Structure 1
Amino acid sequence: MKRPIRSTLLGLALASALILAGCGATVPVRTMSQGYVTEGTPIATVHEAVLRAAELRYWRVISDDPGVVTLAYPSGPKAQHFEAIVRVNYDARNFRVEYVSSRGLNEGHGCTQDKDVVCAHRNVNNWMINLDKDIRRFLVLQPRTGTTAPARSQEPAKTPTK
């Protein structure tokens, strides 16, 4: 009789440890800082940077309206099991990546003492941070208006006359 009780207790202890370890993966969803755009950058360039960063990180475009792009991660078959949705608001001066919702990523409230804080799997923050970094990187790589050197004259060189 001792053997089944010991096995049962050991099994319960192991199950409890696994459950508690899984709960530790839930963290408050970060509010991303506003990204500033260099003066003179056209809004189309900001839009293009958002789409390029999304493509690079395998985000799927859900909607693309003027000034706001809604994205879902991941794209492909993994989206059947879990998904994070963010909104990127942008204009010619700044942009911001904002969390909207998630599915299959332990979304909820209560991972902190503040019950109003939205919590989700820790990877949601990492995905948002990487998207934000890549938008910033693509904006830096974009040519800016008004910063190019003046074009050289295309007139043929004059030869000295005798």
Structure 2
Amino acid sequence: MKPLKLILTGVFAAVLVSGCAGTAPVRNVSQQVAGSHSDAQVRQAILSAGLNRGWIMNPSADGVIDGKILLRGHSADIRITYNTNSYQINYVGSGNMDAKDGKIHPNYNRWVANLDKDIQLELARQNIK
């Protein structure tokens, strides 16, 4: 029984350590818009996806939306530029995310990947309507 307990303790410790993966390169997204969409439709897809994911979305100019997310003492700021053909999600800044030398906590990249996926889904929904 003791060897099994020792193995399980080791596996648990390895899982905990791997969960604290350190940092990863900041992920900026450049995505083509599939189908035919107006600027207003792309804007609406970005706003809807962001709000559904908990981002605070603020249209700051034509073709530009600033986003901010606040989770468990962490924050990230992004700028999304868009037109009828494409959009880009770019890192602007963060708080408590270990950002340094182009690297950041991996959660940031996950948040941006989820936002990107949801924008694509919103755009696809618009094509169905």
Cα distance between partner residues in 1 of 2:120 and 2:114: 10
Aligned to 1:106: 98
Aligned to 1:90: 82
Q: Which runs of 5+ in 1 are unaligned?
A: 1-19, 110-117, 149-162
2:79 and 2:90 in contact (8 A); partners too: yes
1:40 paired to 2:36: yes
In our comparison, the structure showing a higher alpha carbon Rg is 1
2:28 and 2:88 in contact (8 A); partners too: no
Aligned to 2:116: 132
Q: Which range moves more in the overlay, 38-47 or 82-91?
A: 38-47
Which structure carries more helix by proportion? 2
Query: Number of residues paired by the alignment?
Result: 113
Equivalent pairs: percent with the same residue? 30
| Displacement of 1:21 | 7.5
Aligned to 1:13: none
Please point out which of 58, 70, 73 is paired with 1:74: 70
Aligned to 2:47: 51
Change (3 A) 1:103 1:42: same
Which structure carries more strand by proportion? 2
- Give CA deviations for 1:122-147 in whole Å, capped at 9, x if unaligned: 10000000001101110011047xxx
Change (3 A) 1:21 1:37: closer
The amino acid of 2:63's aligned partner reads: G
Cα distance between partner residues in 1 of 2:57 and 2:77: 10
The amino acid of 1:58's aligned partner reads: G
Structural RMSD (CA): 2.4
Query: How does the TM-score come out when normalised to structure 1?
Result: 0.62
Change (3 A) 1:126 1:143: same
Cα distance between partner residues in 1 of 2:118 and 2:88: 12
More relative contact order, 1 or 2 (CA 8 Å, 6+ apart)? 2
